[in-house]
Structure 1
Amino acid sequence: MTVMMMMMIAFLHLLLFSLISVCSGNSPQLNDDVLGLIVFKSDLHDPFSYLESWNEDDNSPCSWNFIQCNQATGRVSHVSLDGLGLSGKIAGKGLQKLQSLKVLSLSGNNFTGTISPELALIPTLQTLNLSHNSLSGRIPTSFTSITSLRFLDVSDNFLSGPIPDDFFQPNSVSGLRFLSLSKNSFEGPVPSTLSRCTSLNYLNLSDNHFSGNLIFFGGIWLLTRLRTLDLSHNSFSGPVPRGVSAIHNLKVLDLQENRFSGSIPYDIGLCPHLNRLDFSDNLFTGSLPPTLNRLNSLTFLSLSNNVFAGDLPQWIGNMSSLRHLDLSSNGFTGVLPSSMGDMKSLVHLSLGDNKVTGNIPESLFDLGLGQIDLSKNEFIGAIPSGSSKLFETLQFLDLSRNKLTGNIPEEIGLFSKLMHLNLSWNNLQSRIPPELGFFQNLSVLDLRNTALYGSIPGDICDSGSLGILQLDGNSLTGPIPQDIGNCSSLYLLSLSHNNLNGSIPKSISMLEKLKILKLEFNKLSGEIPQELGKLENLLAVNISYNRLTGRLPGGSIFQNLDQSALEGNLGICSPLLKGPCKMNVPKPLVLNPYAYGNQMDGHNKHSSRISRNFGHHKFLSVSAIVAISAAIVIAVGVIVISLVNVSVRRRLRFIDNALESMCSSSSRSGSLTMGKLILFDCNAASSSPDWTTLTSPPESLLNKANEIGVGIFGAVYKASLGMGGKERVVDVAIKKLVTSNIIQYPQDFDREVRILGKARHPNLIALKGYYWTPQLQLLVSEYAPNGNLQSRLHQRPPINSSSTHHGQRQLQPPLSWATRFKIVLGTAKGLAHLHHSCRPPIIHYNIKPSNILLDENFNPKISDFGLARLLKKLDKHVMSSRFQRALGYVAPELACQSLRVNEKCDIYGFGVLILELVTGRRPVEYGEDNVVILSEHVRVLLEQGNLLECVDPSMEEYPEDEVLPVLKLALVCTSQIPSSRPSMAEVVQILQVIKTPIPQRMEIF
């Protein structure tokens, strides 16, 4: 019985095994797929749990999310994880087990590290998409050995280095159809072996640092199956050789923003399928080749910002398929061909900044255009009235800076979709058509210097969408209409240099978004409405040379106006003006000495106490009150600053000693955990193998001889790294982070540093990589050869160590005004990028000259931005260090609130930096008996009308019309109330307006 039972059990086992073998013959392979994907997942961080369905206990992954299998074989064929917010490394060892994988798409995540060459071991791979991640290093040469590969996209990463000339291997890349390397940091010439990709349809090398002359690489023209060729935003130079016509199927050719020169190849017109051609922002010369006329499929043509010349050809009107035509910023002459009226498909036309003359053809205004830019030419005659088709489509019309005459057409009010209208700097001699008020979408109306007369229509703002209204430099008469208050979206109102009369309407106080108000050189009379003081967003006002009287509105910008914005009136009451003060209602004049500067609650209470104590005994003069208050403030300031200085000196000694001991101990000890240098946008190889093989970086890099600065977050050293071999060495700056309070988990540190590495802007120091061990963290960044602004402004280092003059070293010359303004504007642009383009916004917390570095052309580059992200806790370390190291630059709200700060604290520090640049003085200066706070000193000079007295005397020449408004902007930025400070985007706009040459510049201050 027992034997029979055992035989039956063995038989059942055998039968079950046979059934499994028959029904599930591929189960070992299925387990490989599960194993491979689980190994791949183990290296990932999945914050939103998208991969929760991936269970290692499953026999098959075919039911998992984002996985597709071949129904016939049951093997994984597609892995598509696009845009899931994943991070970590891409484990090639796991994915290589997917031996039937055809599509691997991981785009739109935050994968880091280098690309694993083991991905090339997937023999069936056809599509590989790694775009929009944070991958670094070089692209593996093994990729082009995948004979099945058809689609390769590694765009928008941190990949770098030259592409080896033998990258595209014979007999393996002939099937590749799509290749995108765009938005990385590749450099050098295009590999000649690219011509082996004979099946390529799409090639995108844009937004890199590729260079060279295409004459020496005609291989691109051998890719006869190309439909898209994008070489834009690189450094290619020289002429474009003939041969492009060999690419018969080419549809898109984009060479924008390179250094190409010479003429356009004659055979460009022999590409019959071409529909997009962009040669803008290069150095092309000569005239347009007539073969362009043959491109019957062309819909987009941009040749702007080149050096083309000659008359506009008559045949250009025959390009009937064009929708976008941009020939702006060249040297084209002649008249506008009447045949352009036959371009029925045209939507965008830009011919601005040329030398085209003659009348504007009426046939052009019969088209259904959305944008017309004919500015900065020499057009004459009248503005065409337009057609019913144009009335329904036109959104942008710029005819400024021509020689147009005649009336503004009444039909202009029929452009129902018009958003931008600029007719300035012409000789129209017309009234303002009341029909302009009919525009429902108009946001910009610029009619400056157009010889307008008559009154301003009361319904000019009926639509409520107008943001900019500029009517300066005309002969307008009558009052400012009360209905101006309907312009609820208005942020710039400029009516200067007219003959407007009457009073300033109270309704202007309803314009809550108003930032700039220009009413100078008119005949306005009466008192300024006190209600205007409620306009909290107002940044600039000019009411000079009118007939105004009485008090200035309280609050807002009015109490900070200087003499140039008030002078030339009949009797405005201000201590800045010497003339009589005329009031409509007789009453005693009481002046608050703190109404003309930044005021704190403590100051106001102090003034009130003085008034109560002395009010029944005797009256104090304004100067006496000022003197008493100033003495008390200075006394308190001396005590506070002295205490802070003691703390500062102790902190400096502590950090210096700590850094020195850390450096020396690192050199002596070999106990550090092995680290590795990670570079984002440089070549992966370093000239010094010590970085990757030794237990610590070379002693020579982190000694005092190489130290170039010490900041809150640590010491900075200059070093040299080899890029692509010993023949190319690049100087970099290495910041050795103070380890206290710095993130200690490598994954978190890597993530935060890579976020900072993505903050790229010409006015930000580029973060190139990092080195991490538990005991040592280094940041590798761009090196600025001209040092920091603090040194250049206050110390003026010698030109070089050997230059002498009568035995003395020759010092660097003082910074010119042009250089100082460049530094101000560039710093503003860099901060605006951090505040407005980064998500979430990056607050610097420590804006001061020592953190503004200067490149070889004295362009400013902000350093140390966002380093607070590397701290485990923000409060104690950063706040205490900032107060001690940035005395004078710290916004006052930081003393009252612990951490509830926003971007406005950076704007305060930026305002102090402007004052320091213009005056050449430090933010806080100590005398024998007093302490001078720079912002308050400049504010007092403004109140006295002596603002130019504070300008750095080392600048022998400077334009007053630039220096004065820059100083006033600085005082607005250093307002005690954070909400009164402008945003950095607004600061950039104001600085650009200040720099615009007269007569183009709108005098905003």
Structure 2
Amino acid sequence: MRSFSLFLVLILHFGLLYGSLLADDTMQLNDDVLGLIVFKSALLDPYSKLLSWSEDDNSPCAWEFIKCNPMNGRVTELNLNGLSLSGKIGRGLEKLQSLKVLSLSNNNFTGVISPEVALLTNLENLNFSHNGLSGNIPGSFSNMSSLQFLDLSKNAISGPVSDTMFDNCGDSLRYLSLSGNYLEGSFPKTVSKCTSLNHLNLSRNHFSGDPGFSGGIWGLTRLRTLDLSHNELSGLVPIGVSVLHQLKECLLQGNHFSGDLPADIGYCPHLNRLDLSNNQFTGQIPMSLQKVNALSFLSLSNNLINGDFPQWISNMSSLEYLDFSGNSLEGALPDSIGDLKMLKYLSLSGNKLSGNIPKSMVYCTSLSTIRIKENALTGSIPEGLFGIGLEEADFSRNELTGSIPPGSGKFFESLQILDLSGNNLTGNIPAEVGLFSKLRYLNLSWNNFQSRLPPEVGYFQNLTVLDLRHSALVGSIPGDICDSGSLGILQLDGNSFTGPIPDEIGNCSSLYLLSLSHNNLSGSIPRSLSMLKKLKILKLEYNQLSGEIPQELGKLENLLAVNISYNRLVGRLPMSSIFQNLDQSSLEGNLGICSPLLKGPCKMNVPKPLVLDPYAYGNQRGGQNRDDGTSRSNNKSFKNHRFLSVSSIVAISAAAVIAVGVMIITLLNASVRRKITFVDNALESMCSSSSKSGSLATGKLVLLDTKSSPDWTNSSLESILNKASQIGEGVFGTVYKAPLGGEGRIVAIKKLVASKILQYPEDFDREVRVLAKARHPNLISLKGYYWTPQLQLLVSDYAPEGSLQTILHERPSSSTSLPLSWSTRFNIVLGAAKGLSTFAPRV
């Protein structure tokens, strides 16, 4: 009986213990659910990727992006890569005590990294890369002794890296990437304690100082990738790299390393990628490099390396990318360079290489990019080189001669960039150039072709830049030069092109730079240029262009710079800010552009009028019928006088020119007497109108036909000279209608364009009084003037019937008014001619 009682007690005890274990396990499972739900609550999930996460579940193992240990049901992996999640990495994760993998890369997480992440003592893989995390790396990360993989790259983490961060990494940490942040300060030398590292990437930060290669990085013998590029590191890179037998990538570009290249760099047998560019290395290229048969990428560009170009380069048979540009290498390229069958990219620009381009390069059949500009290479371009499928060829700024190879086959289909500028190439530009269907950039400038531009240049479908400056080209510019519509830059300066600018150039809808200067182009500026809505720079200087500047060019809203100097242009500038604000150097050297900046005359292209005798025809509207007998009897006389005499036609056609010339010559006479130069300050004076300055010197109204003159103050002038009272506008000023004094007399006031020709009131008074003495039935005489250094006004009688322009050309405002008859128009023209003839002796 006693034994049975003991048996019951034992059963009860083990039952209670088993129940306790089950309760404890359930509690642990609930901790995982609780931790993940708390973590989720701080996130923004725009695509509902975490919809399966429910707080009602007893276990998260069935949730998406979760993996559990099948033995105990605990969460071991949380992988939320690329789900567009945002928010902060907050609380909750610390409850996942069995978590080994935490990967949240390629999301939009922000804020600082929570120190509580370091409480996950079993964590082996931590990946927070490609987010927007900021702040410092928590110092508690040094306690994560089990960590094997740590990637915090492409964030905004800043500050220094703690000296103790890698004290406990021991044999565990194998992958470390902190690249693409804002980390600064000294290189964390304690990283050398991570002896199992095979990937070390601290690139694109602001680390400075000597990283300590000897006894430090060179001691990480398991390294396969070493990337310290794009920092501010300095010092020497000493011998010792050869102990890194497993090294595949050594990337130190974009720092301030100096001294010789490590001589034993070629004894890393598995080295595949070596980039030491953009530093300050000196000396020669180590010969040991020829032993690295596996090397496919080699860049030593932009250093201070000198010596001869390595003749053993062909031993590196696996090379696909070779860049020695921006150094001081000398000598000739070896013929054996053609043995690099796998070479795709070759850049030797900016050295001191001489000799010919090896013909053997035609055997580099994998080559897609070749850049050997800015050397001293001579001879011709190997003919077969333009038949191997190049995408980019840049031979510019050498001393190459001969003609351009015609190209064939793959070259037509592949070439996108061709730059042969700055050589001494001759002969014709091959017509085959138009067959380059993918060509985007063509620069043949600064050569000596002495030939015509082939019309095939219009065949390009994707060309955006065409630069043919200073290439001794002759003939005319092809009309279909940009039929494709993709051309953005067209530069034909400094050639000997003749003939007109083709109207078809208006089809260049994408053009934003057009430069045709320093040629012998003639004819007028085509109005079709106004169709180039994207045009920003227009250079037409030093040609033989004539006529007036199309007013439509004023509608080019994106235009930033214009130069039309040294042509044969006349007339007004287009009414836009860019043309009205051109400086003298952009306008000078023409026949008669109307601008106060220029000393020469202002000329207008006025077509020669054909003036008919109004009595030469019978019944005209508004005219009179003459007696038939009289008409017949005087038929011979009408035949002889049906048109005005030659002298009358000349006088009438010159009317506008003489009218403007009277004012110009009168003012220039005073200018000569005072020897005042006004060109340098003309723009400033043009802008100093009464409505803008607000600080005019006090002037006085002078009436020539009375002794008393009403006082005009600045404020009263501002009320008179406003937009409402404006009745006309001309080359030399604006005309307003205004009352004079208290008697209600209406006068016309012309506000002249301000200039410094007449700087003194006595000069202005003398010249106005000379003009006022002119008497003729067909002239309106001056009645007075107003003068200050900033404002000059001329006062004359007001013509209430409007201007001659209105009467002659505009429709009558009243329906009962009839248009002017031919006889009335004839009398107006004849009267104007008589009035102008009064000034003929003076002109």
TM-score, structure 1 as length reference: 0.56
Which residue is 1:880 aligned to? none
Equivalent of 1:480 in 477, 480, 498? 477
Equivalent of 1:320 in 317, 322, 344? 317
- Residues 177 and 200, structure 1, Cα contact 8 Å, conserved in 2: yes
Write the deviation string for residues 299-320 of structure 1: whole angstroms up to 9, x where unpaired: 1111111000011011112111
Query: How far, CA to CA, are the matches of 1:414 and 1:470 in structure 2?
Result: 24
Query: How far, CA to CA, are the matches of 1:584 and 1:455 in structure 2?
Result: 37
Q: Does 1:398 align with 2:394?
A: yes
Which residue is 2:522 aligned to? 525
- Residues 412 and 436, structure 1, Cα contact 8 Å, conserved in 2: no
Task: State the SS of the aligned residue for 1:407.
Answer: coil
1:624 CA displacement: 1.3
For residue 98 of structure 1, what is the amino acid of its counterpart?
L
Write the deviation string for residues 908-927 of structure 1: whole angstroms up to 9, x where unpaired: xxxxxxxxxxxxxxxxxxxx
Write the deviation string for residues 368-415 of structure 1: whole angstroms up to 9, x where unpaired: 21100000000000001125xx63531110000000000111226861
Which residue is 2:571 aligned to? 573
Query: How far, CA to CA, are the matches of 2:348 and 2:395 in structure 1?
Result: 10
Which residue is 1:541 aligned to? 538
1:20 CA displacement: 9.3
Which residue is 2:809 aligned to? none
Q: Does 1:352 align with 2:353?
A: no
Alignment of 1:12-91 (within 5 A): 26-91=25-90
Which residue is 1:773 aligned to? none
1:234 CA displacement: 1.1
1:83 CA displacement: 2.7
Query: How far, CA to CA, are the matches of 1:186 and 1:626 in structure 2?
Result: 69
Query: How far, CA to CA, are the matches of 2:226 and 2:331 in structure 1?
Result: 33
Query: How far, CA to CA, are the matches of 1:63 and 1:623 in structure 2?
Result: 88
Gaps of 5+ in 1: 1-13, 599-608, 635-927, 932-1005
Alignment of 1:675-714 (within 5 A): none
Query: How far, CA to CA, are the matches of 1:403 and 1:294 in structure 2?
Result: 34
Query: How far, CA to CA, are the matches of 1:237 and 1:630 in structure 2?
Result: 73
1:550 CA displacement: 1.7
1:215 CA displacement: 4.4
Query: How far, CA to CA, are the matches of 2:84 and 2:17 in structure 1?
Result: 45
Write the deviation string for residues 631-656 of structure 1: whole angstroms up to 9, x where unpaired: 8999xxxxxxxxxxxxxxxxxxxxxx
For residue 76 of structure 1, what is the amino acid of its counterpart?
V
Task: State the SS of the aligned residue for 1:346.
Answer: coil
Higher mean C-alpha deviation, range 279-288 or range 471-480: 471-480
Specify whether residues 632 and 44 from structure 1 end up closer, same or farther in structure 2 by C-alpha distance, changes over 3 A only. Answer: farther
Write the deviation string for residues 7-51 of structure 1: whole angstroms up to 9, x where unpaired: xxxxxxx9x999999999843222111011011122223333332
1:111 CA displacement: 2.4
- Residues 247 and 271, structure 1, Cα contact 8 Å, conserved in 2: yes
Which residue is 2:125 aligned to? 127
Query: How far, CA to CA, are the matches of 2:564 and 2:736 in structure 1?
Result: 26
Which residue is 1:113 aligned to? 111
Query: How far, CA to CA, are the matches of 1:342 and 1:220 in structure 2?
Result: 36
Query: How far, CA to CA, are the matches of 1:528 and 1:633 in structure 2?
Result: 28
Which residue is 1:311 aligned to? 308
Task: State the SS of the aligned residue for 1:237.
Answer: strand
Specify whether residues 929 and 26 from structure 1 end up closer, same or farther in structure 2 by C-alpha distance, changes over 3 A only. Answer: farther
Task: State the SS of the aligned residue for 2:70.
Answer: coil
Specify whether residues 233 and 564 from structure 1 end up closer, same or farther in structure 2 by C-alpha distance, changes over 3 A only. Answer: closer
Alignment of 1:921-932 (within 5 A): none
Equivalent of 1:370 in 350, 368, 371? 368
Higher mean C-alpha deviation, range 378-387 or range 211-220: 211-220
- Residues 296 and 320, structure 1, Cα contact 8 Å, conserved in 2: yes
Alignment of 1:82-481 (within 5 A): 82-91=81-90, 93-170=91-168, 172-215=169-212, 218-367=215-364, 368-386=366-384, 391-411=387-407, 415=411, 416-481=413-478
Which structure is larger by alpha-carbon Rg, 1 or 2? 2
For residue 135 of structure 2, what is the amino acid of its counterpart?
G
1:348 CA displacement: 0.4
Which residue is 1:797 aligned to? none
Query: How far, CA to CA, are the matches of 2:23 and 2:462 in structure 1?
Result: 70
Specify whether residues 83 and 276 from structure 1 end up closer, same or farther in structure 2 by C-alpha distance, changes over 3 A only. Answer: same
For residue 541 of structure 1, what is the amino acid of its counterpart?
L
Query: How far, CA to CA, are the matches of 2:70 and 2:753 in structure 1?
Result: 83
1:585 CA displacement: 5.7
Query: How far, CA to CA, are the matches of 2:735 and 2:303 in structure 1?
Result: 60
Specify whether residues 401 and 585 from structure 1 end up closer, same or farther in structure 2 by C-alpha distance, changes over 3 A only. Answer: farther
Question: Between Structure 1 and Structure 2, how many residues are aligned?
Answer: 604
Query: How far, CA to CA, are the matches of 1:307 and 1:71 in structure 2?
Result: 61
- Residues 341 and 363, structure 2, Cα contact 8 Å, conserved in 1: no
Specify whether residues 226 and 478 from structure 1 end up closer, same or farther in structure 2 by C-alpha distance, changes over 3 A only. Answer: same
Query: How far, CA to CA, are the matches of 1:213 and 1:107 in structure 2?
Result: 31
Query: How far, CA to CA, are the matches of 1:447 and 1:370 in structure 2?
Result: 20
Query: How far, CA to CA, are the matches of 1:554 and 1:623 in structure 2?
Result: 18
Task: State the SS of the aligned residue for 1:152.
Answer: strand
Which residue is 1:714 aligned to? none
- Which structure shows the bigger proportion of residues in helix conformation? 1
Write the deviation string for residues 69-89 of structure 1: whole angstroms up to 9, x where unpaired: 233432222211223333332
1:259 CA displacement: 0.6
Specify whether residues 117 and 486 from structure 1 end up closer, same or farther in structure 2 by C-alpha distance, changes over 3 A only. Answer: same
- Residues 389 and 410, structure 2, Cα contact 8 Å, conserved in 1: no
TM-score, structure 2 as length reference: 0.67
Write the deviation string for residues 441-482 of structure 1: whole angstroms up to 9, x where unpaired: 000000001111211111213131110001110211111111
Specify whether residues 74 and 127 from structure 1 end up closer, same or farther in structure 2 by C-alpha distance, changes over 3 A only. Answer: same
Specify whether residues 613 and 90 from structure 1 end up closer, same or farther in structure 2 by C-alpha distance, changes over 3 A only. Answer: closer
Query: How far, CA to CA, are the matches of 2:150 and 2:17 in structure 1?
Result: 43
Task: State the SS of the aligned residue for 1:386.
Answer: helix
- Residues 541 and 558, structure 1, Cα contact 8 Å, conserved in 2: no
For residue 121 of structure 1, what is the amino acid of its counterpart?
L
Query: How far, CA to CA, are the matches of 2:537 and 2:409 in structure 1?
Result: 31
Q: Does 1:625 align with 2:734?
A: yes
Alignment of 1:590-629 (within 5 A): 614=727, 621-625=730-734
Task: State the SS of the aligned residue for 1:507.
Answer: helix
Task: State the SS of the aligned residue for 2:414.
Answer: coil
Query: How far, CA to CA, are the matches of 2:354 and 2:209 in structure 1?
Result: 39
Specify whether residues 557 and 344 from structure 1 end up closer, same or farther in structure 2 by C-alpha distance, changes over 3 A only. Answer: farther
Specify whether residues 123 and 614 from structure 1 end up closer, same or farther in structure 2 by C-alpha distance, changes over 3 A only. Answer: closer
1:90 CA displacement: 1.6
For residue 260 of structure 1, what is the amino acid of its counterpart?
F
Task: State the SS of the aligned residue for 1:187.
Answer: strand
1:155 CA displacement: 1.3
For residue 591 of structure 2, what is the amino acid of its counterpart?
G
- Residues 448 and 472, structure 1, Cα contact 8 Å, conserved in 2: yes
Specify whether residues 392 and 62 from structure 1 end up closer, same or farther in structure 2 by C-alpha distance, changes over 3 A only. Answer: farther
Specify whether residues 583 and 624 from structure 1 end up closer, same or farther in structure 2 by C-alpha distance, changes over 3 A only. Answer: closer
Task: State the SS of the aligned residue for 1:33.
Answer: helix
Which residue is 1:1000 aligned to? none
Which residue is 1:835 aligned to? none
1:536 CA displacement: 0.9
- Residues 240 and 264, structure 1, Cα contact 8 Å, conserved in 2: yes
- Residues 538 and 557, structure 1, Cα contact 8 Å, conserved in 2: no
Specify whether residues 53 and 569 from structure 1 end up closer, same or farther in structure 2 by C-alpha distance, changes over 3 A only. Answer: same
Task: State the SS of the aligned residue for 1:453.
Answer: coil
- Residues 237 and 259, structure 1, Cα contact 8 Å, conserved in 2: yes
